[in-house]
Structure formats: C-alpha cells, structure tokens
Chains A and B, each alone.
Chain A
C-alpha cells in the first residue's frame, strides 16, 4: 500500500511470554506514534481553544500562588513585632484561643447567677411561709382551700 506497511507482528503464533510482551509493546508504540502524528493535524480553531485554555490555567495558577504567598491573618507579622510577639507562634495561637475562653467563662458566670437568683427566690417563699401565723399544713386542708377560693364578702 505504501512505505508505512511493514511485516506485521504475528500475535497468533505461540511465542514465549517475554517475546510476546516485547512484540505487543513494539506494536503499541507504533500505533501511539501514528496517533501522535495524527494529533498534530488539529484544526486551527481547536489549537486556538487549547492555547486559550492553557493561558487561563496559567493565570489561575499565578493567582493561586499569589493568594498563598500573602495569607490574611488576624495579626500580621509587623503587628506581632510591634506587640513583642516576634518569632513566637505559640503566643499567637494562645491569643487566638482567648476569645473562646472568655465566652466559656461568661456562660459559666451567667449560669451561676441564674442558679443563685432561683435559690434566693425559693428562700424568700419559704421564709414567708414559715414566718406566717398560718401553719403550712393548713394549705393542704381541703376546707381551707375552699375558703380561700370563695370571694370575700
């Protein structure tokens, strides 16, 4: 047919495994070479779109690198130097935990204050009951309860 045609590798004939592998690889690489040759003939529109895609990708890579090179932090390096924290990442980490600690301490204080206020209200009620002339047992008496419900005349 033309000069591309050479004797074909005979995969049908029995051959040692290594020889067969080598023949397969040789054949596969020849096919790959033809595919490479064919892939060079892409149309100009496809080539142009691929070039545009490459440029887009490179632009993104530059943007990503730039963003990584200047990360935004709560305390900048210059700020840390001014505050006497230069070179000590441990202090920066500890400082970032402080707001969380303050929040937890605040919640604990609020809880305690609420408990105390509930106790003092209960104590006031108890004191009023015990210091009254009426004995507390009277409130469990059905007749007295009925008396309390009836309107005063």
Chain B
C-alpha cells in the first residue's frame, strides 16, 4: 500500500507533465486543470491501497479516460459532430510573442545571456507547438513512451491498444517532429 508520502511524492512528480499533456489534447487551461484534479482524486479514492510502483500506470490510464470523458461531454454539450482533423492539426504555426516568452521564463536561466535566453525560449516554444500539433494518438503514444518513460507494453495498456500500434504511433510522431523541427532550422 502506498503511504501518504509516496502518494504525495508521486503526484508532485507527475502533476506538471500531466497538466501539459492534457493541455495539448484539450487546448483549454481550465479544463486541463479540472481533468488533472479529477484524475488525482480518482486515483486517491480508488487506488490508494495499491503499491506505489503501480501508481504511474494507473494514473496514466485514469488521465486518458478522464480526457476522453471530457471530449465526450463536450461533444454532447455542443451537439456538434466535430471533424477529427480539428483535433489533429489545430494551433499556430510557430510564431512567437517575444514578450510572452520572456514573461514565461521568469529569470530562471539567469546565467545565460539575454540573446541566448530568448533564443532558447523560442526553441522550447517551437518544440512544444510541434508536439501539440501532432495527431492525438501519436502525441499520446509519444508522450507516454518518452516523457512519462513507460515501456511499450505499459503505453499500450494505458492507451488501450496493441504494442504494434504504439510503436507505429511513436515512430510516426518522431518522424513528424524531426521533419517539422528541421524545417524550422531546429536540431536537437
């Protein structure tokens, strides 16, 4: 059984990534925060008795389901059948507001020169924008596999699909990101 401290540490370690991941999917900050909070509460209420090692996979599974539920509720609320491609390729094309970028940085990289800081922030924003523009399933697979560091089987379990599908989604996501970032002159 996960102790209070283990649960607290786990939630602290995943909350920001979970928020970002949900934000990429729903593109609404308040909704993303609600979904993450709902996920944390569901995990705590139903699975607090599970060992700490099981929490990451359970959390990801609940988060995916909660995000799907949100989309279903939105669909019912709007009573409009959306074109799935709206979810896949909406968003800007990578042009940045430099003032916003500087505000977001908050002086955490004080050792860098101003030019480096701005440039670095631009690159991070561009990468994030490209990730947000990936098709939903590709983005989900990519983030679970490489950001949440789940293995292929765990990612497949969290997404409710086969391991082969996970590999395909990841591979396509990497290619799409590589091509898009290269086109912007960004190499990692």
Over the window 121-163 of chain B, the binary record of Cβ atoms lying under 8 Å from chain A Cβ atoms (1 yes, 0 no) is 0011101100100000000001101110000000000000000
Over the window 106-128 of chain A, the binary record of Cβ atoms lying under 8 Å from chain B Cβ atoms (1 yes, 0 no) is 00000000000000000000000
B127 touches A35 (CB 8 A): yes
A41 to B43, CA, bound (A): 26
Q: Per a CB cutoff under 8 Å, which of A25, A38, A46 touches B33?
A: A46
The answer to the question of B36 belonging to the interface, with a C-beta cut-off of 8 Å to chain A, is: yes
A24 to B8, CA, bound (A): 33
A interface bracket (residues with beta carbon within 8 Å of B):
35 or more
Return the chain A residue nearest B124 by Cβ. A38
Interface positions of B from 68 to 112, Cβ below 8 Å from A: 104-106, 108
A64 to B142, CA, bound (A): 34
| A56 nearest CB across to chain B (Å) | 6
Which of B131, B143, B147 neighbours the largest number of chain A CB atoms within 10 Å of its CB?
A: B147
Chain A residues engaging chain B, CB cutoff 8 angstroms: 1-9, 11, 24-25, 27-32, 34-43, 46, 49-50, 52-54, 56-58, 60-62, 64-65, 68
A-B contact pairs, 20 of them (CB 8 A): A1-B185, A2-B120, A4-B188, A5-B186, A8-B178, A8-B182, A8-B187, A11-B174, A11-B178, A34-B128, A35-B128, A50-B19, A50-B33, A53-B41, A54-B15, A56-B41, A57-B44, A58-B8, A60-B45, A61-B7
B15 touches A35 (CB 8 A): no
- How many of chain B's residues have a CB under 8 angstroms from any CB in A? 52
Interface positions of B from 159 to 177, Cβ below 8 Å from A: 170-171, 173-175, 177
| A-side contacts of B12, CB under 8 Å | 54
| A-side contacts of B128, CB under 8 Å | 34-35, 38
